[in-house]
Amino acid sequence: MEHTSPLIGLIPLFPLLTAALIGLMTLFFAHKGQGAPKGLVSTLAVAGPLASFLVSCVLFFQLRALPEAERALTQTVFPWIHVGPLQIDVSFLLDPLSAMMILMVTGIGTLIHLYSVGYMSHDRGFSRYFAYLNLFMFSMLVLVLGSSLPLMFVGWEGVGLCSYLLIGFWFSDIAKANAGNKAFIANRVGDFGFLLGMFFIFFFLLNNGGTASLDFAAMKGQAALFTPFAATVAALLLFVGAMGKSAQVPLHVWLADAMAGPTPVSALIHAATMVTAGVYMVARMGFMFAISPSAGLVVASIGALTAIFAATIAIAQSDIKKVLAYSTVSQLGYMFIGVGLGAYFENIVAGAGAAIFAVGMFHVFTHAFFKALLFLGSGSVIHACHEEQDIWKMGGLKAKMPITWATMGIGTLAIAGIPPLAGFFSKEAILTNAFIAGHYQTWLYGIYAIALVTSGLTAFYMFRMFFLTFHGKPRDQHIHDHAHESPLIMTFPLMALALGTVVVGFLNVPKVLSFGFLPTDLFATWLEPSLKVAEHGEAHMFHPTATTDFILMAVAIGISLVGIGFAYARYAKPTPATEPTKALWWEILWDKYYVDEMIQAIVIEPILKLSGFLRKGVDEDGLDYVVNNTPKAYAGLSNAVRVIQTGLVRSYAYLMVLGMFAILLYYYLHLAK
Amino acid sequence: MEPTPFQLGLQSVLFGILALVAVAGALVTITRRHPLPAALSLVVSFIGLAGLYALLSAPLLAILQILVYAGAIMALVIFVIMLLNVQESDLPVNENVGKSVALALAAITPVLLIFLAILGKLPNDQTLANTPVPADFGTIEVLGKFLYTNYLFAFESVAVLLTVALVGVVILAKRRI
Amino acid sequence: MLTMSHFLFVSAVLFTIGVAGVLSRKNLFIVFLSIEIILNAVNLSFVTFARFLGQLDGQIFTFLVIAVAAAEAAIGLAIVILLFKNKESLNVDDFKLMKE
């Protein structure tokens, strides 16, 4: 039975309204040469996401009250495009998956808005910032709530736009403006794949006897029409879009540069929400990925590659935000390993995929908490150090900023996968499933190995950053003297997120760790109605024994501890003044494997040359030449013909004779006899 | 009434002489430097043509040719030449008559050849002899009747045309006021 | 023995002579006389056709051509007089205001 609710539309509406109001106020006051009143702007700005969060909670409980098989609320706002076979409405779908996402987005979003009031309090663009940030919330909520691919794409593009606006927020610095460009363009490349995927699905359904619709429910219902090959094509094209949005190799290049924006932006957009849109989309379209035998493995492989690639770069970075940026890329890789394996498992054992999709989404959820925490904490540090971001100029801040130190410590432990924090549970689940996958195809043990090594590297570089920032002797005395703890409006969200990081992990306790009293797999159970592709059949996934489970966990925790130990030995105890490692490979890592330079040489330079050629060779020499010289040619022709006009009667008479001759010739040639 | 061989022979001879006169007259006309001998030579050519018309059973036209064309028109031309008192000094200076006429004839030869080619294609089996016409063919009564019935409109138009020409000449020749 | 072709041949030759005169001569009067030659060549053609086809129409045409030639001669000569009075020259090439 279909359930509708008129409340769903309010969720994206509130931030849209506040964004519009703040935007208009900004323009109005800008005309007068001043900024909008900060009190009013901050109240509106926080109220928007907060209202959405409250409505989300209400709807969450409404959803819980429904029986599991019917757990979906829809609302059709208005019909949008009705052209022939293409029928798209603006309608929202609230099912367990999107409910989880909107709670995460609005909840963490509200905290970050609150934090931003403190962080941006001295900035001239205060109200413009909040207009953009609320607009972003609107787009992200449309993306998550959209019931069809086109509507999701509207949100997709919207978040890309807001990302551009916010990364290039301080656009008077040309480097920051370029960073915004880079993000948007890299996203656009991915979006091209997304569009092609949509077109493919539409026309495939149109030509193979189905109802050509891009609505999620409609597509899922017609999944049987898709051949494995068609499903692979559709899935991989859509995944290209996900690669762009979620910064997978090789479209990862924009995320590090995106750190040019204000730190709360990095926390919200590039940690908790926008970059997870790709994972969300793969989970939504899980049924498509599951039909294809290889798409899931491609996703998981790219995820694994990205994870270790980014982790190696992170260990050499010296900018606190860049370390976090690359760690985000790396963790996103983990999420894709999760959902990719989910598709693969569903392909080989019907009904087994839903739980593994949930594992990937669980990492999205936990990561949102601790990554937002880490970014906001780094923002607090940067603020205290007067906009200094180089960790080699920090040190010994523990005494000066205890709250920040404690909360960031919790975040760093979480990302390193230390129990009982959230990161441990989600990462552990992914590692275990990678190990299980190896049972089915031996090379998949490679993904497990990569994930494990990356885990160790993650612990290492995160603690490197932590120790260099907070421990040891200060490297720049001036900065150390002026450092101070941030105001409550900034530390409150830190504490709230830290609390979340501690608690949230227990939402998905695996059976082996329940110790008889903890509720298990709450998260996966909640998400199952959305992520389920097929009913459980006869077969079941291979599951290692409890002993193996414990061994795997011990190995994972062990490798994290090893990483932490290394970091401690190198960066905490000795308190180095500069980076101790000087080898060539360190340089390569610091230069991010020269990917940007390669793209510049392989992609950008040829395009620029082509543009130059088109401008000069085709446009100037070719078209302009023709346009300018056609009149000249005509003039020349005229001049040549003008000779006939002699003004002499005799020459005209001669021409008449010639004409007469021509006519006679014609008649001669056509005489019948 | 069948023409006798003598009559046929006479026809051919007459034709030859008259044709020669006409063509020779025309040639002389275009090769004179001074217009007066050219005009006089043209009169001779017209007389030859009149004879040809007579040979072609067009007696009225033959007379009209002499009266109107040779008589009135050429008289007018000669009158104007003498009126303007065309002297040697008035003639175009650099006119090398022989060369230019020869050149023109050479240039026109293709036209002539086309004419002749077309002529060659025309049926050639009818002679004067075996296409008899009524005895009163081309006489003034028959021609007049034909003119005033079938071609009345044309006749009246030509009358108007002559009136217009008359008025036009008067206007052209009048002194400026 | 005399066929249509004989007469038409004479007509063609006369026409050619007339055209040659128009093209080659620079004296205004001679050009005018050449035009008269052309008209007469055509007249001869008409009369020939009238005779050999047994229809009087050809002769009517000739009649009308003579009338028109008369009118044309009158006006043409009037113009020649005016031109001579204006430019003191009988050279056709001197009257080229029509150029450009």
- ipTM for the predicted complex: 0.90
Chains in contact with C, where contact means 3 or more Cβ–Cβ distances below 8 Å, are A, B
What's the pLDDT at A516? 67
| C55 domain-assigned | yes
pLDDT tens profile A113-161: 999 998 888 888 888 999 999 999 999 999 999 998 999 999 999 999 9
Please state the rounded mean pLDDT for residues B25-53.
93
Helices (H), chain B: 5-30, 35-55, 59-64, 74-84, 97-121, 140-149, 152-173
What's the pLDDT at B93? 67
Q: Is the CA virtual torsion A139, A142, A145, A146 positive or negative? A: negative
Residue with tokens 């491609």: A298
The whole-angstrom distance between A628's CA and the closest CA on chain C is 26
Query: What is the domain-level CATH number for residue C54?
Result: 1.10.287.3510
Coil, helix or strand at residue A571: helix
Q: Which parts of chain A sit beneath pLDDT 50?
A: none
The whole-angstrom distance between A660's CA and the closest CA on chain B is 8
On chain C, the residues whose CB falls within 8 A of the CB of A657 are: 19, 23
Percent helix, percent strand, percent coil in chain C, to nearest 5: 80, 5, 15
Tokens of A360: 């990937």
- Name the least confident of A344-348, B38-42, B147-151: A344-348
Give the largest CA-CA distance in chain B. Answer: 68
- Name the least confident of A514-523, B153-162, C18-27: A514-523
Residue with tokens 């004989």: C6
Return d(Cα B146, Cα B127) in angstroms, integer: 25
| C99 domain-assigned | no
What's the pLDDT at B95? 63
What's the pLDDT at C99? 67
What's the pLDDT at A443? 85
Nearest to B22 among C10, C20, C68 (CB): C10
Please state the rounded mean pLDDT for residues B44-60.
94
Return d(Cα A238, Cα A201) in angstroms, integer: 10
Instruction: Decide if C92 and A645 are in contact by the 8 Å CB cutoff.
Output: no
Pairing of strands A3-4, A86-94: unpaired
Q: Are A552 and A448 in contact (CB under 8 A)?
A: no
Q: What is the pTM of this model?
A: 0.69
| C46 domain-assigned | yes
What's the gap between Cα A578 and its chain centre? 33
Q: What percent of chain B has pLDDT over 90?
A: 48
What's the pLDDT at B177? 47
Pick the closest to residue B78 from B110, B111, B37 (CA basis): B37
Return d(Cα B55, Cα C10) in angstroms, integer: 14
Residue B130 pLDDT level (bands cut at 50, 70, 90): low
The whole-angstrom distance between C91's CA and the closest CA on chain A is 11
Say whether residue C92 is in contact with chain A using an 8 A CB cutoff: yes
Backbone angles phi, psi at A419, to 5 degrees: -70, 160
What's the pLDDT at A222? 85
Q: Are B14 and B22 in contact (CB under 8 A)?
A: no
What CA–CA distances, in Å, run from A653 to A462, B56, C31? 101, 32, 11
State which H helix or E strand residue B139 sits in: none
| C39 domain-assigned | yes
| C100 domain-assigned | no
What one-character-per-residue DSSP string does A316-333 give?
A: T--BHHHHHHHHHHHHHH
| C96 domain-assigned | no
| C84 domain-assigned | yes
Q: Are C15 and C41 in contact (CB under 8 A)?
A: yes
What's the pLDDT at A110? 92
Alpha carbons within 13 A on the beta-carbon side of A386: 8
pLDDT tens profile A235-258: 999 999 899 888 888 888 888 888
pLDDT tens profile A161-205: 999 999 999 988 888 888 888 889 888 989 999 999 999 999 888
Q: Which residue range forms the structural domain that includes residue C54?
A: 4-91
Q: Are A131 and A19 in contact (CB under 8 A)?
A: yes
Q: Are B61 and B142 in contact (CB under 8 A)?
A: no
What's the pLDDT at A1? 62
Q: Report the number of distinct structural domains present in chain C.
A: 1
Alpha carbons within 13 A on the beta-carbon side of A91: 21
